[in-house]
Homo-oligomer: A and B are copies of this chain.
């Protein structure tokens, strides 16, 4: 099989887009991605979305967005796997191209949280947990993460401020990202004084729900003109994998190990024929700082119980052993639900093209991106590679 490549990227600013709706947000990202691709003609659209049927009273986004983007007639479908919807849309587009049935595929991740107020959003997000057993008890995603973090602190003897580096790193990296929701660095004392959201999760341990859309154009390498974007490397999808786990925490053998993060990353690395030491940066799913710590451990960058220490030691910063959240991550760029996984891909392509400006990782060749749904009930991992 010829290589599957990402030939176009687009994104909107992440934030509170009160002024425009779902379809406009999606259009803006798609328009930019198609322009960046040099005008490739897509045959299929894969929409990653988490909650539009609940929050915007709008299902059937595939046909809606295809039509609004001027692509009426193409194949169009919506993928949902909670917070991993964006990663899942990328994976399905990848499979479609790899099958040889589709030559050019679009991916758009889209979420519009501001169509509803905060408590309604929390309730809708809770519907992605095991609703009959968790949401029905009043359990929210943040409460679920708080249980994980509390247990992690207890088992590994970690103080609250042992998690500060996740937020500090993300906010430091968000400063130079024009699409980030938060572009201000924070200090350790700001983290230490932050109000609790759901003890022990404070304001800086949780990523902000935000509106946004990001888009990708996928194709086969042999379909691109030889002079395509000669000024920077072409980016290949070298590995792609997904895995599922229980929705409910109470069904897990070990709530402090993200099986799916391990399985999907391992499969993606196997496909890419690389080992962990070859990966130059990791866009993890830091919807909560505890998720970031557990993801570092599951993928293998830290041993169990020591993900927080890797961060505290400065190893996830741009100059560290394994830079993470290089454009601000979910914490500072913002968490646009089903678009989050597509933002990761857009940011990874930016790094691998050498276009990340002040945040550029030197000689970045391989990037790992990982999109989680719930507490890693779904994980979708991709290895992106800069071709020579």
Contact B51 A59 (CB under 8 A): yes
Q: Mark A62-80, 1 if CB is under 8 A from B, else 0.
A: 1110110001111111111
Provide the bound-state CA to CA distance between A240 and B101, in Å.
9
Question: A57 to chain B: which residues have CB within 8 Å?
Answer: 127, 131, 135
Interface window among A277-285, A300-308, A314-322, A372-380: A372-380
Q: Which residue of B lies closest to A75 (CB)?
A: B242
Known: A75-B242, A92-B77, A132-B21. A64 touches B247 (CB 8 A): yes
Q: Does A53 contact B (CB under 8 A)?
A: yes
Q: Looking at chain A, what size class is its interface with the partner chain? A: 35 or more
Question: A58 to chain B: which residues have CB within 8 Å?
Answer: 127, 131-132
Provide the bound-state CA to CA distance between A259 and B58, in Å.
23
Of B59, B128, B373, B378, the residue contacting A127 (CB under 8 A) is B59
Question: A350 to chain B: which residues have CB within 8 Å?
Answer: none
Q: Mark A285-321, 1 if CB is under 8 A from B, else 0.
A: 0000000000000000000000000000000000000
Q: Which of A72-113 contact B (CB under 8 A)?
A: 72-82, 88, 91-92, 95-96, 98-102
Contact B377 A63 (CB under 8 A): yes
- Give, as a whole number of angstroms, the nearest-CB distance from A358 to chain B: 36
Contact B377 A60 (CB under 8 A): yes
Contact A246 B63 (CB under 8 A): yes
- Give, as a whole number of angstroms, the nearest-CB distance from A67 to chain B: 5
Contact B88 A95 (CB under 8 A): no
Known: A100-B1, A101-B240. A60 touches B80 (CB 8 A): yes
Question: A378 to chain B: which residues have CB within 8 Å?
Answer: 60, 62-63, 76-77
Q: Does A245 contact B (CB under 8 A)?
A: yes
Q: Which residue of B lies closest to A61 (CB)?
A: B80
Question: A51 to chain B: which residues have CB within 8 Å?
Answer: 53, 59
- Give, as a whole number of angstroms, the nearest-CB distance from A289 to chain B: 22
Q: Does A129 contact B (CB under 8 A)?
A: yes
- Give, as a whole number of angstroms, the nearest-CB distance from A268 to chain B: 11
Q: Does A189 contact B (CB under 8 A)?
A: no
Question: A260 to chain B: which residues have CB within 8 Å?
Answer: 73
Q: Mark A33-66, 1 if CB is under 8 A from B, else 0.
A: 0000000000011000011011011111111101
- Give, as a whole number of angstroms, the nearest-CB distance from A347 to chain B: 23
Provide the bound-state CA to CA distance between A63 and B260, in Å.
11
Contact B79 A79 (CB under 8 A): yes
Q: Does A243 contact B (CB under 8 A)?
A: yes
A-B pairs with the 7 shortest C-beta distances?
A98-B99, A63-B244, A75-B242, A76-B244, A99-B99, A60-B128, A60-B82
Jot down 27 A-B pairs with beta carbons below 8 A, ordered by A: A21-B132, A45-B244, A54-B54, A58-B127, A59-B82, A59-B127, A60-B127, A60-B374, A62-B80, A63-B244, A63-B247, A67-B244, A67-B247, A72-B246, A73-B243, A73-B245, A73-B259, A73-B260, A74-B243, A75-B241, A76-B242, A76-B378, A77-B92, A78-B80, A92-B92, A95-B96, A96-B99
Could you list which residues of chain A lie within 8 angstroms of chain B, going by C-beta atoms?
1, 21, 44-45, 50-51, 53-54, 56-64, 66-67, 71-82, 88, 91-92, 95-96, 98-102, 124, 127-132, 135, 240-247, 251, 259-260, 263, 373-374, 377-378
